[in-house]
Structure 1
Amino acid sequence: MTETAVQAAATAARTLGLKVTDPTVLYEAFSTVVHLKPSPVVARVPMNLPNGLKEPEPAVRRQQRELDVVTWLAQQGLPVVPPSSLVPLEPVEQDGLSMTFWAYVDVDRDAEPDYFGATARVPELHAQLADYPGELRWMSPLRLIGQGLAAVEVVPGLLEQEDVDRARAEWRVLEPVLTSRAGFEAAFPSANVQPVHGDAPSWNLITTVDGPLWADFEDVTLGPIEWDVAGFGPELCKAYDEAARARGLPTLDPRVQQVMDLARALQVLVCTPLVPQLPALADGIRMFATQWRAMPFAGGLT
């Protein structure tokens, strides 16, 4: 699958007029990320996706939303990894794959991850995203949970039958609250709802030789601010709140956070069928499953 993604990215890039002689894989997980050397361009090719994101049209719409949001953030002066200026600002389809093209950035390989420092910067990101003028879907990362749970199977040592049964029962409670803005605001009328990164931004702040840059806005969405720190744990949530107070920005609502933490766990659990293609996922799923089993049923919404 890696070679398929590399060849498709290189072919698409050459068709767009880029010089590509040595395409090099930088990263592989849900997407294959390819540096199209010697051009200062990186292609991101989604390859290992849950079922609901495999259809070409939804994937293209998702990619276009990301390009639009990141372009706007860059125009506002926010430090982001920008789309490449050498190609049109739109997804490109090649050999049945849809991909996007980004500016190559020089990552600081010696930098140690600083998740506390990154989390303390998320309120600043939220303050900028709050003004985004474009249209975003409501909590789009959660739209896969229902069909994912319907298809998920027992994997001994990872997910047991009682886990599957509980997750499906919880989703029956949570679905009407989390899949519509009206349902959510009925349950949490004072929640802070706005455009959010959608995919754990503290883990997607890249340290480059020129400073930190926000990246991977594939799941950008409309939702509560708590979604962007879902699953982080109390200490990182405290770091968010301290930074938000210092900037006069909204802090996290513990009741909303509890539900978002549970939703994040369910989102991770439905990735279990991808473990054969991505064995490294197993440890993360196991960690989230352990935390999830200790959470109140349905995040207390019973």
Structure 2
Amino acid sequence: MTETAVEAARSLGLTVTDPRVLYTAFSTVVHLQPSPVVARVPMNLPDGMKDPEPAVRRQQRELDVVTWLAAHGAPVVQPTPLVPRRPVERDGLSMTFWTYVEVDQTAEPDHFGATARVPELHAQLADYPGELAWMTPLRLIGPGLEAAEAVPGLLEQDDVDRARAEWKVLEPVLTSRSGFEAVFPSATVQPIHGDAPSWNLITTVDGPLWADFEDATLGPIEWDVAGFGPELYRAYDEAARTRDLPTLDPKIQQVVDLARALQVLVCTPLVPLIPELADGIRMFATQWRAMPFAGGLS
């Protein structure tokens, strides 16, 4: 995968002599040294979890959203100006190229501070004029649950049965805007980051920058903090109130928290490829088992 990214970069005119892998999980991220450019290459999913949306379309949407945010002054990791701002396909993979930023290695994690910044990001995203589909991060839950199998010690058969039953209740509510607003007519629906933005706030030597907008979507603001827990919800609400911005709706939060748990549980087949996922799945599974069935919608 690294060599494919290097070859693609060189074909675009970039000089690459010492590629360095910065991160690997759902994507492989490669610093194409000495060029100040990072390639991000999504990993392939198992056969039972194939994304129905073409990678190129998803990546172009991300590039468009981030380019717009940067033009309007938002602190984001930007696409590199050294190559065209479009996905590049090579050897069956699709990748994007970004400006390299230096991470502040001395910075301590600050989940409260990062969560308190999310209302500001939402205020910036609210004006995004491009077309976004409804709640694209949920698109793998249905297929994932259909293919789900029990994994003793991680996901039991009773868990699989419950999750499938819950999704029958949640799917008509969460997978269309009309279905969602019929149940939650006062919800704050707008363009959102889509993938836990406070966990995708990179502390660089020049300040914090938002990253990873691959799941940018139209949806309720609550989705961007789903699964964080009451203390971080309060951090979001306190920051929102100081800016006179919408706060979180507890009923919506309860439903999307459960949907987030299902989104994590269907990643169980990825554990052989990404073993570090196992602890997170166990944590979410433990929380999920204590949640009201279907987030209280049944």
Does 1:67 find its partner at 2:63?
yes
Letter in 2 for 1:198: G
In structure 1, the residue corresponding to 2:151 is in which secondary structure? coil
User: Structure 1: which 5+ residue stretches go unaligned?
Assistant: none
1:103-137 alpha-carbon deviations (Å, 9 max, x no partner): 00000011011010000000000000000000001
CA–CA distance in structure 2, aligned partners of residues 261 and 180 of structure 1 = 17
CA–CA distance in structure 2, aligned partners of residues 205 and 136 of structure 1 = 22
User: Structure 2: which 5+ residue stretches go unaligned?
Assistant: none
Counterpart residue number, 2:73: 77
Distance 1:194 1:260, change over 3 A: same
1:45-91 alpha-carbon deviations (Å, 9 max, x no partner): 00143658746961111000000000000000100000010011100
Counterpart residue number, 1:226: 222
Counterpart residue number, 2:175: 179
8 Å Cα contact 1:92/1:99 also seen in 2: yes
Shift of residue 152, structure 1, vs aligned partner: 1.1
CA–CA distance in structure 2, aligned partners of residues 228 and 94 of structure 1 = 32
CA–CA distance in structure 1, aligned partners of residues 257 and 53 of structure 2 = 29
Distance 1:50 1:187, change over 3 A: farther
Segments of 4+ moved more than 2 angstroms: 48-57
CA–CA distance in structure 1, aligned partners of residues 131 and 94 of structure 2 = 22
1:124-177 alpha-carbon deviations (Å, 9 max, x no partner): 000000000000010000011000000011000000000000000000000000
Counterpart residue number, 1:249: 245
Counterpart residue number, 1:290: 286
Counterpart residue number, 2:269: 273
1:11-68 alpha-carbon deviations (Å, 9 max, x no partner): 0000000000011100000000000000000000001436587469611110000000
CA–CA distance in structure 1, aligned partners of residues 244 and 294 of structure 2 = 31
Aligned match for 1:9, one of 5, 8, 20: 5
CA–CA distance in structure 1, aligned partners of residues 71 and 48 of structure 2 = 32
CA–CA distance in structure 2, aligned partners of residues 196 and 42 of structure 1 = 24
CA–CA distance in structure 2, aligned partners of residues 52 and 181 of structure 1 = 26
In structure 1, the residue corresponding to 2:108 is in which secondary structure? coil
Number of positions where the alignment pairs a residue of Structure 1 with one of Structure 2? 298
Question: Identity of counterpart residues, as a percentage?
Answer: 83
In structure 2, the residue corresponding to 1:164 is in which secondary structure? helix
1:128-147 alignment runs, 5 A limit: 128-147=124-143
1:25-64 alignment runs, 5 A limit: 25-49=21-45, 51=47, 54=50, 58-64=54-60
Distance 1:66 1:209, change over 3 A: same
Does 1:209 find its partner at 2:205?
yes
8 Å Cα contact 1:36/1:43 also seen in 2: yes
1:237-294 alpha-carbon deviations (Å, 9 max, x no partner): 0000000000000000000000010000000000000000000000000000000000
Counterpart residue number, 2:89: 93
Q: What TM-score comes out, normalization by structure 1 length?
A: 0.97
Counterpart residue number, 1:24: 20
8 Å Cα contact 1:29/1:48 also seen in 2: no
Counterpart residue number, 1:169: 165
Counterpart residue number, 2:151: 155
Counterpart residue number, 1:239: 235
Counterpart residue number, 1:125: 121
8 Å Cα contact 1:31/1:45 also seen in 2: yes
Distance 1:154 1:123, change over 3 A: same
CA–CA distance in structure 2, aligned partners of residues 298 and 106 of structure 1 = 42
CA–CA distance in structure 2, aligned partners of residues 100 and 75 of structure 1 = 19
Counterpart residue number, 1:299: 295
In structure 1, the residue corresponding to 2:19 is in which secondary structure? strand
8 Å Cα contact 1:63/1:100 also seen in 2: yes
In structure 2, the residue corresponding to 1:72 is in which secondary structure? helix
CA–CA distance in structure 2, aligned partners of residues 52 and 102 of structure 1 = 30
